[in-house]
Amino acid sequence: MSAVGSKLRRLADNIVAFRCPGCRTMHQVWTDRWRWNGDGDAPTFSPSVLVTYDGADVGQGGAPQARCHSFVENGRIRFLPDCTHELAGETVPLPTLLGGT
Protein backbone atom coordinates (compact mmCIF):
# COMPACT_ATOMS: atom_id res chain seq x y z
CA MET A 1 0.00 0.00 0.00
CA SER A 2 1.44 3.37 -0.98
CA ALA A 3 0.37 6.99 -0.74
CA VAL A 4 -1.11 8.75 -3.75
CA GLY A 5 -1.04 12.38 -2.69
CA SER A 6 -2.45 13.27 0.71
CA LYS A 7 -5.97 11.79 0.36
CA LEU A 8 -5.54 8.38 -1.30
CA ARG A 9 -3.76 5.06 -0.84
CA ARG A 10 -2.97 2.77 -3.76
CA LEU A 11 -4.01 -0.79 -2.91
CA ALA A 12 -3.25 -2.31 -6.32
CA ASP A 13 -2.48 -1.08 -9.84
CA ASN A 14 -6.15 -0.32 -10.47
CA ILE A 15 -7.45 0.29 -6.92
CA VAL A 16 -7.17 3.40 -4.74
CA ALA A 17 -8.84 4.03 -1.39
CA PHE A 18 -9.91 7.05 0.63
CA ARG A 19 -11.02 7.38 4.24
CA CYS A 20 -14.73 8.05 4.56
CA PRO A 21 -15.53 10.35 7.49
CA GLY A 22 -19.14 9.12 7.54
CA CYS A 23 -18.37 5.41 7.82
CA ARG A 24 -14.99 5.93 9.53
CA THR A 25 -13.41 3.33 7.28
CA MET A 26 -11.66 3.12 3.92
CA HIS A 27 -13.66 2.96 0.67
CA GLN A 28 -12.08 1.45 -2.44
CA VAL A 29 -12.41 2.72 -6.00
CA TRP A 30 -11.41 0.65 -9.05
CA THR A 31 -9.78 3.13 -11.41
CA ASP A 32 -10.45 0.88 -14.39
CA ARG A 33 -14.21 1.17 -13.70
CA TRP A 34 -14.56 4.75 -12.37
CA ARG A 35 -13.23 7.87 -14.01
CA TRP A 36 -10.56 9.46 -11.84
CA ASN A 37 -8.85 12.80 -12.39
CA GLY A 38 -5.50 11.29 -11.23
CA ASP A 39 -5.13 13.81 -8.39
CA GLY A 40 -4.31 12.33 -4.97
CA ASP A 41 -4.75 15.65 -3.17
CA ALA A 42 -8.06 16.76 -4.74
CA PRO A 43 -9.50 13.56 -6.23
CA THR A 44 -12.65 13.39 -8.31
CA PHE A 45 -14.32 10.07 -9.11
CA SER A 46 -17.23 9.51 -11.43
CA PRO A 47 -19.86 8.15 -11.25
CA SER A 48 -20.94 8.13 -7.59
CA VAL A 49 -19.41 5.74 -5.05
CA LEU A 50 -21.91 3.38 -3.40
CA VAL A 51 -20.85 1.19 -0.48
CA THR A 52 -23.17 -1.14 1.44
CA TYR A 53 -22.09 -3.14 4.45
CA ASP A 54 -23.46 -4.86 7.52
CA GLY A 55 -23.71 -2.23 10.23
CA ALA A 56 -23.77 -3.07 13.92
CA ASP A 57 -27.58 -3.22 14.00
CA VAL A 58 -28.24 -4.99 10.68
CA GLY A 59 -31.15 -7.41 10.98
CA GLN A 60 -32.15 -6.17 14.45
CA GLY A 61 -35.69 -4.88 14.45
CA GLY A 62 -35.67 -4.92 10.64
CA ALA A 63 -32.59 -2.67 10.34
CA PRO A 64 -31.25 -2.71 6.77
CA GLN A 65 -27.65 -2.86 5.60
CA ALA A 66 -25.68 0.31 6.19
CA ARG A 67 -25.32 2.45 3.06
CA CYS A 68 -22.87 5.14 2.03
CA HIS A 69 -23.56 6.87 -1.28
CA SER A 70 -21.44 9.83 -2.32
CA PHE A 71 -19.79 11.89 -4.99
CA VAL A 72 -16.10 12.64 -4.51
CA GLU A 73 -15.33 15.91 -6.26
CA ASN A 74 -12.19 18.05 -6.00
CA GLY A 75 -11.13 16.54 -2.67
CA ARG A 76 -14.55 16.86 -1.06
CA ILE A 77 -17.10 14.14 -0.42
CA ARG A 78 -20.77 14.97 -1.00
CA PHE A 79 -22.92 12.46 0.84
CA LEU A 80 -26.27 11.76 -0.77
CA PRO A 81 -29.46 11.72 1.32
CA ASP A 82 -29.77 7.92 1.08
CA CYS A 83 -26.72 7.39 3.34
CA THR A 84 -27.51 5.72 6.67
CA HIS A 85 -24.84 7.59 8.67
CA GLU A 86 -24.95 11.02 10.32
CA LEU A 87 -23.28 12.87 7.40
CA ALA A 88 -26.13 12.12 4.95
CA GLY A 89 -26.84 15.24 2.89
CA GLU A 90 -23.60 17.00 3.89
CA THR A 91 -20.43 17.87 1.96
CA VAL A 92 -17.10 17.72 3.80
CA PRO A 93 -13.41 17.62 2.87
CA LEU A 94 -11.83 14.21 2.42
CA PRO A 95 -9.57 13.54 5.40
CA THR A 96 -5.81 13.73 4.94
CA LEU A 97 -4.28 10.30 5.44
CA LEU A 98 -1.34 9.98 7.77
CA GLY A 99 1.00 7.00 7.97
CA GLY A 100 -0.17 3.68 6.53
CA THR A 101 -3.94 4.31 6.50
For 59-83, the pLDDT digits (tens) are 556 556 789 999 999 999 999 999 9
Give residue 36's pLDDT. 97
- Using the CB atoms, write b or e for 9-47: b if 16+ within 10 Å: bebeeeebbbbbbbbeebbebebeebebeeebebbbbee
Whole-prediction pTM: 0.85
Domains of the chain by residue range: 2-93
